[in-house]
Structure 1
């Protein structure tokens, strides 16, 4: 059994006095009203960042630890290692068994979970405010003291293979992975977060443990918490937990900055068809979008909302309301540090897929050429602003915003600032981003029961 961090030496006495602990640096990033909504950031010696938002009107707290590692950080042979490791951190530490970890949070009525994305991983617990010290102790213990036990590695391998099988049994989910691969190819961003059956079977305990030691250094971690809390108490409890694990040994270490850079998205005009015996055909039609650091992302969000973000959107009205060709149809954006995707999804009966695709293509081409009406833009701005506020009404969503702000943008944006950026989008901004993004040649991914004639017509539709 191994641990990921070396034990910290105990403080020593020098000339009769104890050596002082290195000081943490704390800043208030967003000043709230009477303390509510106040966002504070502390950087501990060792490079660990702690960010909290005070929400005194609730009786809960969501506590999370984010790791700046995702599936894009994997080599082809390690594809799936980040997600595999996410599972294993719940399987025991030197202080707790897997049952101890789950029982600790269950006993106080809390919930604990984790998720892996392409550029980060998050572990979190939501508990009553009085139980926050317990949540901090458990989650910090998981992140700093995982054993990566060989027996658990083998047991969890089967669980992950079942998760891959479950995803492949859901074509409405699987088609989005296929579309990402269609545009990004066999690149770190194009490969699936879960890995493949082949790569998961080939991962060894030693390779996963090395991956853990490399990517779970405090300089690559961000602690976030939101709810009825005291920032000073959170900092003190987190620092105690990390020092107990020997994880803050480099006092001069600096946090790893957020990701930046540029990469070329795979050439457009590609098509991937996956023949499966399903009741529906599932398609994603789309093209390269913009990165999350691109200022045009606000206008693209408004554009996506108007095209396929609600019941009044163009695609919903044209495909579902007027013609009854699909139950689910929508548009979406995915943004990474250096590129982005714009997609339109629809699920329909296999015999109607060509009609649905033709309508989607026509709508995208029309908006690319002529833009949206002022009324559509203003309605989309209202919808996007309202959904942004409603989406941040619980402590889990606030905790999520804090973590992404630090890891993805390197700054915290207040809700008012976000709303100002959305409401500042003009019809001309939307027309320009529509011409740029929707004017590109689209790519297409389809999963469903397709005969040769249908496949040929689909290929013609994006040629």
Structure 2
């Protein structure tokens, strides 16, 4: 396969061979349901995901946290299956099942042996289409979610991450916590979550992706039968929901500095800037930049902060891209007395990328790291399933391993410096959790 393969929303059938001789197929049913598969030679298992392109950013002020709340509730039973029945279905065959709520989508997924894929289709379809949202289970799950939020609040790196996103994105919906907060979960009502469910879990919203040992034609037949058995009328014409705009928006910074005092042994520091959108042609440039700066043990951050100075155990950089915005950040956990010094060092290394060319050796090493990691990740059908689902929901195009490697190989020293210069010029935000206060960062804020 050469270049990316577009996924037009008005083309009912697509089929092509990707790297490694995997066969990718896509069918759009007349109702708007999209079914995608990647058949991988030699696989004996399959991972299946049911996706809807609604995440935490899509919630109204009255129902913050509803997307994550609903994710929990869809495991709690349908008219034909109890929560225990759902769990037993997968445990009895050694399968795995779970879900994830993100800022722009929700996915319910399972990994099973090839022979158990029909069962996974039936159970996941039942969960997604026919959840009862039982009032008693609703209240029980409210308690579970509050405990989940409490667990996250006990993790200082999680707290730093939430405060960092709020600091960078400000009032933009991407700055909100995915799971809501204790106040919004306490205030959530079954009616509001039910309305959220009925408004967003419809044929035109549903994307199903499967990777591994899968026969596409049989998959389409099984999915169609399961959806019709659940009461969905697939004969009603419907177009798939449109994808989000890929145009970037201006981000008004929430704050330059946020500190959260906690009596803990380390200061957890995140600093960074608005990043690039998911569809930006320079995403390969960002991957290489991130690898050079903080993507591994040979990266600049790791070598300078940990190896040469012994100031941190964990130090790295990261990038997250969404449809209309992104973030690029750096993290370190260190002694509170060293927080200011570590933050200055991280920022200096970040800015140095914009002021000086990386070496050809650093470029070669970063491209090699990313190329190898990309290839190894695709040994797992989970990664392939996720790649397929995100390609349909977010990008509208499929990029296989060969094309990924080609794009990485095209990145130049000048590309990295140019992008670093653009990022470094954007408003800086810092979030820190621990026994630190604002004065620790006075030299850089």
TM-score (norm 2): 0.95
Query: Corresponding residue for 1:28?
Result: 15
| Deviation, structure 1 residue 366 | 1.5
| Deviation, structure 1 residue 31 | 4.9
Misfit runs of 4+, over 4 Å:
none
Contact 2:171 2:254 in 1 (8 A): no
- How far apart are the structure 1 equivalents of 2:96 and 2:53? 23
Contact 1:269 1:462 in 2 (8 A): no
CA distance 1:31–1:168, change in 2 (3 Å): closer
Deviates more, 1:187-196 or 1:363-372: 363-372
- How far apart are the structure 1 equivalents of 2:151 and 2:345? 31
- How far apart are the structure 2 equivalents of 1:191 and 1:391? 30
| Deviation, structure 1 residue 391 | 1.4
Query: Corresponding residue for 2:124?
Result: 139
Query: Corresponding residue for 2:88?
Result: 103
Query: Corresponding residue for 1:17?
Result: none
Query: Corresponding residue for 1:387?
Result: 373
- How far apart are the structure 2 equivalents of 1:367 and 1:38? 40
Residue deviations 1:420-462, cap 9 Å, x none?
A: 1111111111111011112334210000112xxx52131x233
Query: Corresponding residue for 1:333?
Result: 319
Tell me which of 398, 402, 406 is aligned to 2:392: 406
Residue deviations 1:387-412, cap 9 Å, x none?
A: 11111211111101000110110121
Matched, 1:370 2:368: no
Matched, 1:256 2:241: yes
| Deviation, structure 1 residue 382 | 1.0
Query: Corresponding residue for 2:25?
Result: 40
- How far apart are the structure 2 equivalents of 1:29 and 1:263? 34
- How far apart are the structure 1 equivalents of 2:359 and 2:63? 48
Residue deviations 1:3-38, cap 9 Å, x none?
A: xxxxxxxxxxxxxxxxxxxxx9322044566xx411
Query: Corresponding residue for 1:188?
Result: 173
Residue deviations 1:238-262, cap 9 Å, x none?
A: 0101111122345320111221133
| Deviation, structure 1 residue 278 | 1.2
Matched, 1:443 2:429: yes
SS of 2:353 mapped into structure 1? helix
Query: Corresponding residue for 1:5?
Result: none
Tell me which of 434, 438, 444 is aligned to 1:455: 438
Tell me which of 44, 51, 57 is aligned to 2:42: 57
Contact 1:178 1:272 in 2 (8 A): yes
- Structure 1: where are the runs of 5+ without partners? 1-23
- How far apart are the structure 2 equivalents of 1:67 and 1:169? 30
- How far apart are the structure 2 equivalents of 1:350 and 1:176? 17
Matched, 1:430 2:413: no
Number of aligned pairs? 434
| Deviation, structure 1 residue 178 | 1.0
Query: Corresponding residue for 1:171?
Result: 156
Query: Corresponding residue for 2:287?
Result: 301
Deviates more, 1:246-255 or 1:80-89: 246-255
Structure with higher Rg: it is 1
Contact 2:51 2:107 in 1 (8 A): yes
| Deviation, structure 1 residue 187 | 2.9
Query: Corresponding residue for 1:84?
Result: 69
- How far apart are the structure 1 equivalents of 2:136 and 2:145? 15
- How far apart are the structure 2 equivalents of 1:144 and 1:153? 17
SS of 1:327 mapped into structure 2? strand
Query: Corresponding residue for 2:6?
Result: none
Contact 1:371 1:434 in 2 (8 A): no
